[in-house]
Amino acid sequence: MSRPNQGGAARWLPWTTGTTGLPRLYCLPFAGGSSHFFRAWTEPARRLDVEVVPVELPGHGTRLRDPLVTGMAAMVDALCEEVLREERGPYAILGHSMGAKIAYAVAEELERRPGATPPARLFVSGSLPASAAEPKPLHGLPDDALTAELSAMGGTPPEILANAELMEFMLPVIRADLTLLEQWHAPAGSRISCPITAFAGQDDQVVRAELSAGWADHTSASFALRVHPGDHFFLREEMDVMLGRIAAELHGRAVDLPAPGGV
């Protein structure tokens, strides 16, 4: 069973159990999300010989007392330091929605740093390509309008959206994340040298599945697009299928056939 690790990385990587010798998959959450979302992935991944490492961003989950970060440069710099401090072997990074943009920026920075080991593969999920600006900025919306947008995305339970006291606490966190997401995009033509796999929901109304194909322009290596049944938060229901594909790609095995309707 996962337990919080000890030492300086415990804030960023609260559910890391120590060195397992398995390839690591650092998982970055969506706007308003926390490391808790990916805790359910840890045991199924270990059975596939992958160590899932949920990442906790400042001001989220177990780090509620830490100041929120609204600038990509500061977020990337701190995350790179944690990855470099922790890494002893091959690893990959996965990010969903906002987390995908952060993951790309981290991978890009690690490739630039002298002596750093960049990720073996980047997995992006439910996200526009890194160079694409968000078409509908939300971070400046009034609270009622922002809550309505969150409801339309389908990622937040209705009982939470209806709880005024809880939303008073959550909205600043979500707004900070959206500020980071919406005020950054990679320069056109920017590329990383590791392969990229993009996951998409075939019924995603936030990021249409076909737009995820644009991630191919951000790698000089191979690219794969995997389309799964479901909406913007398809990875909740598709965890096992996604982990199977991730493990296959990390271990160089043949990737399973797509699910019905997938690619």
Q: Would you say the pTM of this structure is higher than 0.85?
A: yes
Cα three-residue angle 164-165-170, rounded to 5 degrees: 90
DSSP symbols for 189-242? T--BSS-EEEEEETT-SSS-GGGGGGGGGGBSS-EEEEEESSSTTGGGTSHHHH
Could you tell me the pLDDT band of residue 5, with boundaries at 50, 70 and 90?
very low
Tell me the average pLDDT across 114-141: 91
- Contact between 76 and 109 (Cβ < 8 Å): yes
Secondary structure element (H or E) that encloses residue 123, with its range: strand 121-125
Q: What is the pLDDT of residues 9-22, one digit of tens each?
A: 578 988 877 667 89
Least confident of 88-92, 187-191, 259-263: 259-263
Which pLDDT does position 93 carry in this prediction?
Answer: 97
Residue located via tokens 């981290």: 106
The crossing angle, in degrees rounded to 10, of helices 143-153 and 164-182 is 80
Give the C-alpha separation, 187 to 70, whole Å.
Answer: 19
Q: Which two tokens stand for residue 58?
A: 């400042």
- Torsion angles phi and psi, residue 169, rounded to 5: -80, -40
